Amino acid sequence: MDKKIRKIHLILGSLRDTFRLLKRNKVGFAGFIILIFIILMSFIGPYIVPFDTTSRLDKIYVKPSWEHPLGTDSQGRDILAQIVHGGRDVLVVAFLTGFLSTLIAISLGSLSAFIGGRFDSMITSLADIVLTIPHFPLLSVLAAFVKLKNPLMIAFILALLSWPGLLRAVRAQVLSLKERDFIEAARALDLGTPYIVFSEILPNMMNYIVISFILSMTSAVYAQVGLILLGLVPLATHNWGVMINFAWTRGAIFYKHSIYYILSPIFAISLFQWSLVSFTRSLEEIFNPRLGQGA
């Protein structure tokens, strides 16, 4: 029983120290708070804020009011409800793309540097080839042949195109770390390549890996919204990108009070991107507490 209590105290102490480091950088902490708010809004908000899809021709492009805080769209539907219900797919694609691309990059990059030889040459050559391919034009061509019906498919394709940059950085870091004394000691103990790579080398790169994961999420958001805006992805679900697409294709720019409909999803995407980028400042404080006191 005492061991369980001590373990709980250690966990609480670790969480308390992490939260203290998060608060050290004010801009990073603000990004963290906004990021949590957007996540809660996107995944819990739909259960609280109903989304009525009924068209109301008498309420087209109504100005913001108590009934409709952000006004209405071209069909008289509440914009705030669309913002609340439209974030989940965007966040899911961003997270899955970041996770898959980071997993591919750190796995292949670390093994490539540690094993070396032909395996290293093959992986780096593959990364160079993928880096030379213009991603967005390729995505546009793929969209004509592959039906991107769900967020999982979009995330998978984006991840397959997003890993080479991080792989090169991971490989360079591992090439430096594998010459350290503690790696030589692990080799002498014959702990095995998987253990040395994933238990000894990668934990020393967590700062860079986590921040690269965050930045990969931001790139995924822009890519998926761009595809939706251009109509290259079937508009089967409702999200912020679909809102921008509808605002563009249905001539919202020609109506006086449509500015709220046009800017609301753009502001939501920008706020999410800002929160991610700002949050990396606090992540640097967590993984490297010796940094300055922050902003």
Q: Which pTM does this prediction carry?
A: 0.81
In a domain, 50, yes or no: no
**pLDDT above 80 (res 194):** no
Determine phi and psi for 58, rounding to 5 degrees: -85, 0
Q: What is the mean pLDDT of residues 166-192?
A: 77
Q: Would you tell me how many other CB atoms lie within 10 Å of the CB of residue 282?
A: 23
In a domain, 216, yes or no: yes
**pLDDT above 80 (res 190):** no
- Its domain, for residue 211, covers 87-237
In a domain, 175, yes or no: yes
Q: How many CA atoms lie within 13 A of 208 on its CB side?
A: 17
Kindly report, residue by residue over 42-76, the tens digit of the pLDDT: 999 999 988 877 778 788 888 888 888 888 888 88
**pLDDT above 70 (res 17):** no
Is the CB of residue 177 less than 8 Å from the CB of residue 204?
A: yes
**How many domains is the chain partitioned into structurally?**
1
Q: Given this model, what pLDDT does residue 110 score?
A: 82
In a domain, 41, yes or no: no
In a domain, 130, yes or no: yes
Q: Given this model, what pLDDT does residue 295 score?
A: 41
Would you list the DSSP string of the chain?
Answer: -HHHHHHHHHHHHHHHHHHHHHHHSHHHHHHHHHHHHHHHHHHTHHHHS-------GGGTTPPP-SSSTT-B-TTS-BHHHHHHHTHHHHHHHHHHHHHHHHHHHHHHHHHHHHH-HHHHHHHHHHHHHHHHS-HHHHHHHHHHHS---SHHHHHHHHHHHHSHHHHHHHHHHHHHHTTSHHHHHHHHTT--HHHIIIIIIGGGGHHHHHHHHHHHHHHHHHHHHHHHHTT-S---S--HHHHHHHHHHTTGGGSTTTHHHHHHHHHHHHHHHHHHHHHHHHHHHHH-TTS----
**pLDDT above 50 (res 294):** no
**pLDDT above 90 (res 135):** no
Q: Which two tokens stand for residue 290?
A: 């010796």
Residues 6+ apart with CB under 8 A from 82: 51, 73, 238, 243, 264, 265
In a domain, 34, yes or no: no
State the CATH number of the domain containing residue 174. 1.10.3720.10
Chain mean position to CA 5: 36
Q: What is the mean pLDDT of residues 148-173?
A: 82
Q: Which two tokens stand for residue 27?
A: 């801009």
- Among the ranges 133-147, 206-220, 264-278, which has the highest mean pLDDT value? 264-278
In a domain, 2, yes or no: no
Q: Given this model, what pLDDT does residue 59 score?
A: 83
| Calpha distance 180→197 (Å, rounded) | 13
Determine phi and psi for 53, rounding to 5 degrees: -85, 5
Q: Which two tokens stand for residue 40?
A: 């809660």
Q: Given this model, what pLDDT does residue 107 score?
A: 84
- Mean of pLDDT over the chain: 80
For 126-159, b/e burial (b = at least 16 CB within 10 A) is: ebeebeeeeeeeebeeebeeeebeebeebbebbb
In a domain, 268, yes or no: no
Is the CB of residue 284 less than 8 Å from the CB of residue 291?
A: yes
Kindly report, residue by residue over 115-124, the tens digit of the pLDDT: 878 888 888 8
Place of tokens 């071209």: 74
Smallest CA-to-CA distance from 67 within 47, 56, 255 is with: 56
